[in-house]
Structure 1
């Protein structure tokens, strides 16, 4: 009888150990063709864990996390992959370091969550250029959105063991994506290709006088909305100069509109204008250099919330692209050449 009781107690202890969830994550795996020495597991707040990679590309470690969430598995700035982690997960990752996320295979407890995220990313990539969707007529746009929704719902429904937090996150992200499509489609009906462009009037010209959008009627107009304090704007200047040089004899005007204003110039509009003029002179900026001053109506019409912003308008004053590629983007030359300017 004592032996039986002892055996039952032993079985209960073993069962308890098996069913008790671990309060940490276990990560193992191997990266073929690996040349890096460490893996960073990165949260929204920064590096959470550093894992050493062995010479044969294998790795093994554990970590505790504060909350179930999407983390980044990274060996370098160019080699990153999403990883959904929750304490109790035991995940194995294998793949080719030369084809980082593309080649990854996830297995083990909790691995389906990361597989789902990868499937979502791949479907997002497959959507292509959203501008092509926004240019559809209303009937085809609605059909396209319904088709996209069906695909994303299918991906979600194909995994029956996802973490509840990830399901909520995925549904929220999908909802945001479809709201983005609907809102931008409505905007595109007003600001889409072929629609009359909003106009600006009497902007101060660096070379003297004032210019309005109608001043360039009969020519294509590539507009750069920028400011002297904007780092990303300044980064585009060398590319814009090259573009102006290449298309110098073409039927196109390159118009840069500075949005420098008083708040960043000690409360003085005069100082803002001087800052713009000094910058244009110092950098030897080409093309048509304008300053919008206090008039922000053009920016409001185009709903510009961040700069730089580039706009391409045809000789009749109609919009070609309300959010045109940057000068550094090869797609811009492709677009300009397609117009046979």
Structure 2
């Protein structure tokens, strides 16, 4: 009886040893359209690189990788995608180099994991440009996200023998992706809508009662019937100041034309210490540099800047006589394209 037990234990030990994970990956395959020339196939990530020869379209080698994970596949130096590897995998790849992503397939030990990642990548490619996704209304956006979550989950039902480490990492990555895109929706959607409202031909956002250097208050509506070229600037902004000579030249050249040159200072309490100092700095510079055109001070009213999504200065805007936008980010005075824009707009 004891001998039988010992024999059974010995057999179990032998079987366990035979099932021990190999200390390397066997990677082989056939890739069509490699021009029958010797070509290098490289498997690499940040910690590992190994190249093997594709000879007449066929390759085979072993890889002793440091740890399981994602590895990029390069053919003749060009990235053709990625796969998941761990020592013990015995993979065979078939593909057409001219349509690698569409034709690649894996067989052998570890193939379920590799083919799962391929299937997920193909579904992911159907997601489209994120900008177009963010442009959807809320209901359509939610429906699209839920559809892709369902598609990703459905792939797992097809490929059931998946590497547990890969699946854990992959699930976390997918969750992170969907969480990030959901969190970004409101902000990105609003920004896209605002940008849409600034397209050529749209009614321009307006400003009202800005302080005029020559006295009184001035609004955009005061220029109805004229083209308006707006310069948004500040006294501390060196790139803004660099545009002044060219802007003054334009003002002289188009003096008899139906166009108003309006400069709006956005000096504020943060850059000047107080709103009073900001206004003083603006007035001082207008006087010292003998600035021409219509010189306005926006003060605390930043709605016009927000509506035009002004995030940096100088910023130039061209509006037509009806108050519609010609170009919400017009060329600078130093740019020769500006006069072409004037001409094409009928100025």
What interval of TM-score do these two structures reach, taking the shorter chain for normalisation? 0.5 to 0.7
Q: Secondary structure at the match of 1:23?
A: coil
Q: Secondary structure at the match of 1:60?
A: strand
- 2:233 corresponds in structure 1 to 202
5 Å matches for 1:275-314?
A: none
- 2:212 corresponds in structure 1 to none
- Maintained 8 Å contact 2:112/2:160: no
- For 1:128 and 1:313, how far apart are their aligned partners in 2? 33
TM superposition shift of 1:157: 3.5
5 Å matches for 1:173-188?
A: 173-188=173-188
5 Å matches for 1:37-186?
A: 37-45=39-47, 48-55=49-56, 57-186=57-186
Q: CA offsets per residue over residues 138-166 of structure 1, 9 Å max, x none?
A: 12221221111111121234321111111
Distance 1:59 1:144, change over 3 A: same
- For 1:110 and 1:200, how far apart are their aligned partners in 2? 62
Q: CA offsets per residue over residues 239-281 of structure 1, 9 Å max, x none?
A: xxxxxxxxxxxxxxxxxxxxxxxxxxxxxxxxxxxxxxxxxxx
TM superposition shift of 1:70: 0.8
TM-score by length of 1: 0.55
Q: CA offsets per residue over residues 168-223 of structure 1, 9 Å max, x none?
A: 22112212221232133111233123456799931505331699xxxxxxxxxxxx
- For 2:21 and 2:145, how far apart are their aligned partners in 1? 41
- For 2:147 and 2:246, how far apart are their aligned partners in 1? 49
- For 1:134 and 1:318, how far apart are their aligned partners in 2? 26
Q: How many residues align?
A: 225
TM superposition shift of 1:132: 2.0
- Maintained 8 Å contact 1:191/1:319: no
- Maintained 8 Å contact 1:193/1:320: no
Q: RMSD of aligned C-alpha atoms?
A: 3.8
TM superposition shift of 1:17: 4.4
TM superposition shift of 1:49: 1.2
- For 1:127 and 1:157, how far apart are their aligned partners in 2? 20
Distance 1:302 1:68, change over 3 A: farther
Q: CA offsets per residue over residues 41-76 of structure 1, 9 Å max, x none?
A: 11123x521112223x21111111121111012112
5+ residue gaps, structure 2, are 199-204, 206-229, 235-239, 248-304, 330-347
TM superposition shift of 1:93: 0.7
- Maintained 8 Å contact 1:202/1:210: no
TM superposition shift of 1:16: 4.0
Q: Secondary structure at the match of 2:159?
A: coil
- Maintained 8 Å contact 1:80/1:100: yes
Distance 1:133 1:63, change over 3 A: same
Q: Secondary structure at the match of 1:136?
A: coil
- 2:339 corresponds in structure 1 to none
- Maintained 8 Å contact 1:79/1:100: no
- 1:28 corresponds in structure 2 to 28
Mark the structure with the bigger radius of gyration.
2
5+ residue gaps, structure 1, are 212-296, 305-311, 322-341
- 2:268 corresponds in structure 1 to none
